[in-house]
Structure 1
Amino acid sequence: MSMTAPVSGPPVPRRWIALVFIALAQLMVVLDATIVNIALPSAQHALGISDADRQWMITAYTLAFGGLLLFGGRVGDLIGRKYAFLIGLVGFAAASAVGGAATGEGMLLAARALQGAFGALLAPSALSLLAVTFTTPAERAKAFGIYGAIAGGGAAVGLIAGGLLTEYLDWRWALYVNVPVAVVGLAGGAVFVRDPVAGRSRARLDLPGVVLVTAGLVALVYGFTRAESEGWGERGVVGLLVGAGVLLVAFAVVEALTRTPLLPMRVILDRNRGGAYLSVGLSVIGMFGLFLFLTYYLQTVKRYSPVETGLAFLPMTAGMVTGSTQISARLMNQVPARLLMVPGLLVAACGVVLLTRLRVDSAYATSVLPAQLLLGVGLGAALMPAMNLATAGVDAHDAGVASAMVNTSQQVGGSLGTALLNTIGATATTSYIAAHAQGPPSPALAAAGLVHGFTVALWWAVGVICLAAVVVSVLVDSRGERRAARVVAEPGVREPGVREAVVTAETPPPARQLASVGARGEPVDDGPLAARTSPVYAPMASAGPGSFGTPVHGRVRGGDGAPVCGAALTLIDLGGRQVDRATTGVDGVYALRAPGVGPYMLITAADGHQPQAATVAVAHEPLHYDVTLSGTSGLAGVVRSAATGARVDGAIVVVTDAHGEVIASARTDAAGEFEFDDLVSGTFVVAVTANGHRPGALPVAVDGQGTTHCEVELPAGARVHGTVRAGSDNLLLSDARVTLVDAAGNVVATATTGPDGAYAFEDLDPGTYTVIASGYPPVAAAVMIGETAPEPFGLTLSHPDE
């Protein structure tokens, strides 16, 4: 039994129950994006909102939500994800209640803005909690499948709920409905949700970054929103978009220079996460455009009611659930993510292509339904692994802001998709009517022009979704996925990167920690290596005018002298900056270039070999440097019972290194055997626990040559159990307190009897104990525990006069 992803500790208890409440909170946020759209006309009429200001019911929420997402994600990293999650729920519910009770336009718009602000705290907290709660690949796939299905299908549910609430109750219930949902989520979240990562980010809040990114995102989202109604050439729209660009560029510069950035550049410069963010944003552009036009088509052309429109979208929701839970969740651990994302996006694009064939008289069953099924299955299969990649392998203290980037990509993509595709569709509709009208346009011509505009815009949506597939195929790297999957299994460990590789160079960590050295990271401006080396070396001299750097080349061989193919070599300077990276071919040869003379760190890593870090001195002449990598080893063994010699199945085996870090864990199979692959040479501690046995541990030396075998014997765990009776009738006594005290007078454990008067103490060392029962006047009795379990030990309580 080999392990591909080590685990850092026991799983979070009751995590599947916690998933219910995390998903419920996400559903509430997604529902609110569409449920209020249905209530908009009724709210406008009831509160006397003008047509010009009506859209602010949507815009107020969108600006606050989109602008504060990154800030909300970082707040979760600073104060704790669970606290941010609960605060977001309370605030969202309170804002919804205020909005439902609004007596005027100002009160309603303020409540909607507050909803967006608390939603920006809640959404990234929910996703980051999911990322750090489920760390094993199998559970992570299933959890993200469920989460992705809810995120994708909530919009259709919102249409149905909004229509039913508005039609049969009142528009205010489109807001009030969030209150009971939030109360349930709050009660369950407080009890079941855990933030499993110890400690919080100690970094100071990057206030300049907060101001710049919030202003930039607000300007960007509002610019897209205005472009939908005012046009892209309108002066205010151009000013907003230009201002957004300037602010976001300034934000990027500030983040690259500050020591405690709001959004560390390592989060988005990782090619897998960057590819995931881009693909999510592009996919949402196409999805929002389709959702918008298909809603218009069904309600305006086919005359569907809001409730009927929501029901018409249910097949797409079912497709998303199927794609997320039955395709991606089942295959994500067997195939690279891009082999799910690219086909999924292409299937979704095929669904949109079918919708480009819509006509005024098209039937739902033959034209809309097949397209919705393809679109739902494709997006469900693509978006779930994208969300997983977007949060995989990130440092635990950056999980909130990494999750916020997913939501930001969705929000910006949705705003851009709505504005861009609506402009394209409206222009095509106007051109069609102008070309075919002979006098005032008839209703039939208007409907035909509308459908023509829809189909033209949908062809653009096809192109955007295909572009997302191209982005995934170019940026998402299966090797990087494997590295991230290994890091995911250790949520408390710093994201592997240049700093970790350099600081621990004297004692190389396992290959799984050095595998991502090639990713471009931020310069290390502090830390042990910088402090130790900066006074020693003078600044590097230039390699000379017109030079592309000094060549550093050589060959990578294994311990047997054979060339190592696919080895990753990274050259970094003394500040921790990556200056070049290469991968060996079948002949093991590599070639790098140093930008100037001076000392550099050369890091080499390859699957199945122990990584190596070495200092190389680069002069003006080309440097030839060969690398020899030693192989990794395996560790196998068997777990037996010390009392009987029988093999123990289902025992948990944990391997830790000399520093106490967990390297891998597994369970023994039916034969009581375990096996680990890809361990570097060194001394490890093998610790074993099993039901009915005392824990055991032993040191094991792995020599790097083949597989090391060991045998672990577990002593039997003794047990004291019995019943407590009371009174002259000798009746079984419930709720009696039973205390177990060892020979030294220390309290070992306490228990309370059940309805049958029974108590039990498990996993005890052999020795003499005292059992004390109380409820009546206390009774104490000594019991001797040996290697075998004693017979049931009963106690009788009574009053002195009985």
Structure 2
Amino acid sequence: MSGSNTPTLKSPADRSRWTALIILCAGTLMTILDGNIVTVAMPAIQSDLGFSPAGLAWVVNAYLIPFGGLLLLAGRLGDLIGRKRMFTAGLAVFTLASLFCGVATTPALLIAARALQGVGGAMTTAVVLGMLVALFPEGRERAKAIAVFSATGAAGGALGTFLGGALTSALSWHWIFLINLPIGLVSVVAAWRVLAADRGAGLGKGADYLGAALVTAALMLGVYTLVQTAEHGWSSARTLLLGAVAVALLAAFTLRQRRAAEPLVRLRVFRSRTLTGANLVQIAMIAGMYAFQYIGALYLQQVLGYESLTTGLAFLPAPLVIGTLMLGLSTRLTTRFGPRTVLLGGLVSIVAGLALFGRAPADGAYATDVLPAILLLSVGFGIGMPALTGLAMSDARPEDAGLASGLFNTTQVVGGSFGLAALTSLAAGRTADLGATTRETLNSGYQLAFGTGALIVVVGLVLAAALLRSRTDRPSAAVRDDAPAPVSAS
């Protein structure tokens, strides 16, 4: 986030800086791990706690919505009270919420605990990038640090998918949350000891709490409306009314930002065609990737009959490919061909992967119907996401770099939550329309979700081609030192 008050280390020694980076990565690993580890355990959670098919999406959405809605406010509060305090408090909240998730016995308790996890995740994530940039002000060292940070995202995806299957199979789904406790406790203590206290601007400078409430309420109501379409229909009076209220809340947030003395979002940043376009493209890209991650796991378990551990192993190639590409080939491709060209190629690969998944039959085979789609999606995301990240930051003024980073993180969460809600509702609705729930009817619903996800990414492809013009299609736009590290969606 923006602001000059950043934490410094107790010692200027290089070893201390890299130790601090490890701590920041550990906190990030927890939030990424948790976003992926739950996917494979979904069927077990549904069976144990009695979630409805559409309601099951709230195990993910209850985390994503406060996470995305509070990122901007958490970043601003980090500027005011100090980023070390915000980061450490976020780790503590996230760890405590993980305990509540692990002992939950009803859907309501699990959803409430997941929402609290989202709050802690926002508090932690909102300030990490600013802390990392302050620790490594030099371009070459900063590039190395961001590479480590990016690898953490890929590792989180790999560990999350695998551990979700392993822990659910060996113990129970409760342990996918309880695994966060030792990581969180060690990270809190280490952060408090290693990072020196930074002096924030002070709460007297103010934060737009009303704006944060408006945008969070708009996001939560919007996703709730989408989830409920499986039960009430897309054109029902209830759906239209709730959708209109969500739009009105978003409009009120925009008006508030025009008038607030200390707005969460300075609306002038949207005058940048590149920044606006990149964020719109990201919404479409991440929506499609969540169809792959969430619906794909359900397809493997509920249609093909995979066990939790087998499902985790089946998805393991995705984060490995994504992490490898992010740390190596994607930068070289962007340097040679420019970020816009690489992004377009990545989006095409994602569309192809989703379309291939959409043709997977009820008696599909992993080698022919699943693995090729996973590889296409992984390659597309692995080369496309870093290029998109650089484009999103390429036009940001120095004073707006934190805001641009916060917006990029927020639209990533918005794309995931809205895409997941819409696609799960479509899948559940198709299955219900076909009558009895069988492998074939479930697969028909999943095929519709994959096909719709592909169409959403096509919209992103069109937006990228139309809005991200040649002026930004230059290598330097993708390798700016202040660009945020890409986070794996897998």
Q: Report the TM-score, using the length of structure 2 for normalisation.
A: 0.81
Residue 76 (structure 1) shift: 2.4
Shift in Å, 1:160:
2.5
Q: Residue 450 of structure 2 corresponds to which residue in structure 1?
A: 458
TM-superposed CA distance for 1:245, in Å, is: 0.8
Q: Residues 414 and 279 of structure 1: is their aligned pair in 2 closer, same or farther, counting only changes over 3 Å?
A: same
Amino acid at match of 2:250: L
Q: Return 390-399 or 18-27, whichever deviates more.
A: 390-399
Stretch of structure 1 that moved more, 372-381 or 336-345? 336-345
Residue 418 of structure 1 aligns with an amino acid whose one-letter code is L
**Larger relative CO (CA 8 A, sep 6+): 1 or 2?**
2
Partners of 2:123 and 2:296 in 1: how far apart? 31
The 5 A counterparts of 1:75-86 are: 75-86=77-88
The one of 153, 157, 160 equivalent to 2:159 is: 157
Query: For the residues of structure 2 that align with 1:246 and 1:300, how far apart are their CA atoms?
Result: 38
Instruction: Mark the CA change 1:32 to 1:342 in structure 2 (over 3 Å): closer, same or farther.
Output: same
One-letter code aligned to 1:284: I
Q: What is the CA RMSD across the aligned residues, in angstroms? A: 3.8
* Distance in structure 2 (CA, Å) of the matches to 1:40 and 1:448: 20
The verdict on how the C-alpha distance between 1:489 and 1:202 changes in structure 2, with shifts beyond 3 A counting, is: farther
Q: Secondary structure at the match of 1:360?
A: coil
Contact 2:169 2:308 in 1 (8 A): no
SS in 1 for 2:228: helix
Is structure 2 residue 325 aligned with structure 1 residue 323?
yes
Pair 1:113-2:85 in alignment: no
Alignment-mate amino acid for residue 87 of structure 2: F
Shift in Å at residue 343 of structure 1? 1.3
CA shift at 1:287, angstroms?
Answer: 0.8
* Structure 1 position 476 matched with structure 2 position 478: no
The answer as to 2:400 corresponding to 1:408 is no
Aligned identity (percent) is 36
Match of 2:313 among 304, 311, 314: 311
Residue 314 of structure 1 and its aligned partner are, at CA, apart by 0.9
- Aligned match of 2:253: 251
Instruction: Give the drift of 1:423.
Output: 3.9
In structure 1, what is the equivalent of residue 242 of structure 2? 240
Contact 2:165-2:311 at 8 Å conserved across structures = no
Q: 1:508-560, CA deviations, whole angstroms, 9 ceiling, x for partnerless residues?
A: xxxxxxxxxxxxxxxxxxxxxxxxxxxxxxxxxxxxxxxxxxxxxxxxxxxxx
Conserved in 2, the CA contact under 8 Å of 1:283 and 1:468?
yes
Once residues 334 and 78 of structure 1 are traced to their aligned partners in structure 2, the CA distance between those partners, rounded to angstroms, is 41
Structure 2: how far apart are the matches of 1:483 and 1:345?
A: 18
TM-aligned CA distance change 1:399 to 1:316, over 3 Å: same
How has the CA–CA distance of structure 1 residues 145 and 347 changed in structure 2, closer, same or farther, with 3 Å as cutoff?
Answer: farther
Give the direction of change, closer, same or farther, for the CA distance of 1:227–1:297 in structure 2 (3 Å limit): same
CA apart distance, 1:283: 0.5
2:181 alignment partner in structure 1: 179
Distance in 1, matches of 2:189 and 2:336, equals 37
User: Considering only CA atoms, is the larger Rg found in Structure 1 or Structure 2?
Assistant: 1
Structure 1 partner of 2:102? 100
- In the TM superposition, residue 267 of structure 1 has moved relative to its aligned partner by 3.3
CA displacement 1:93-134 (0-9 Å, x = unmatched): 122224434577665544332211111211222244345555
What are the Cα deviations for residues 154-209 of structure 1, in whole angstroms up to 9, with x where unaligned?
A: 34532322232233234432222112112333344446668999978984212332
The CA distance in 1 between the partners of 2:341 and 2:14, in whole Å, is 33
**Cα shift readout 1:281-310 (whole Å, capped 9, x = no counterpart):** 111111111223322221122110111111
CA shift in 2, pair 1:250/1:103, >3 Å = closer
Q: Deviations over 1:757-784 (max 9, x none)?
A: xxxxxxxxxxxxxxxxxxxxxxxxxxxx
Q: Is the 8 A contact 2:226 2:425 kept in 1?
A: no
Matched residue, 2:343: 341
Residue type at the aligned position of 2:277? G
**Deviation per CA, 1:689-730, whole angstroms, max 9, x where unpaired?**
xxxxxxxxxxxxxxxxxxxxxxxxxxxxxxxxxxxxxxxxxx
Output aligned runs, 1:75-474, within 5 Å: 75-102=77-104, 108-131=110-133, 133=135, 143-151=145-153, 154-155=156-157, 157-190=159-192, 203-333=205-335, 335-391=337-393, 394=396, 399-426=401-428, 428=430, 433=434, 446-474=438-466
Shift in CA distance, 469/455, structure 1 to aligned 2, threshold 3 Å: same
Say which SS state the counterpart of residue 411 (structure 2) adopts. helix
Check whether the contact 1:57–1:112 (CA below 8 A) recurs between aligned residues: yes
Q: What do the CA deviations read for 1:465-497 (whole angstroms, capped 9, x no partner)?
A: 232223223333564577986996589xxxxxx
CA distance in 2, matches of 1:388, 1:196: 29
Unaligned runs of 5+ in 2: 1-11, 484-490
Go from structure 1 to structure 2 and tell me whether the alpha carbon gap of 1:50 and 1:329 turns closer, same or farther (over 3 Å shift): closer
Return the offset for 1:461.
2.1
Q: Take 1:385 and 1:134, find their aligned partners in 2: how far apart are those partners?
A: 22
For the 8 Å contact 1:345–1:465, the answer to whether it is kept is: yes
C-alpha offsets along residues 242-287 of structure 1, whole Å, 9 cap, x if unaligned? 1111111121122123342111113343222222211221111111
Taking a change above 3 Å as real, the CA distance of residues 83 and 460 of structure 1, as seen in their structure-2 partners, is same
Matches of 1:36 and 1:42 in 2, distance apart?
A: 10
Q: Deviations over 1:312-343 (max 9, x none)?
A: 01111122112211222344455532122111
Aligned to 1:22: 24
Name the CA distance, whole Å, in 2 between partners of 1:12 and 1:489.
22
Q: In 2, are the aligned partners of 1:128 and 1:399 still within 8 Å (CA)? A: no
In 2, the alpha carbon distance for the partners of 1:141 and 1:227 equals 45
Indicate if the aligned counterparts of 1:128 and 1:391 stay in contact, CA closer than 8 A.
no
Cα gap change, 1:342 to 1:109, in 2 (>3 Å)? closer
1:31 and 2:45 correspond: no
Query: How many matched pairs?
Result: 470
Cα distance change, pair 346–397 in 1 and its aligned pair in 2 (3 A): same
- CA contact 1:12–1:194 (8 Å) conserved in 2: no
Distance 1:45 1:311, change over 3 A: closer
| Higher fraction of helix | 2
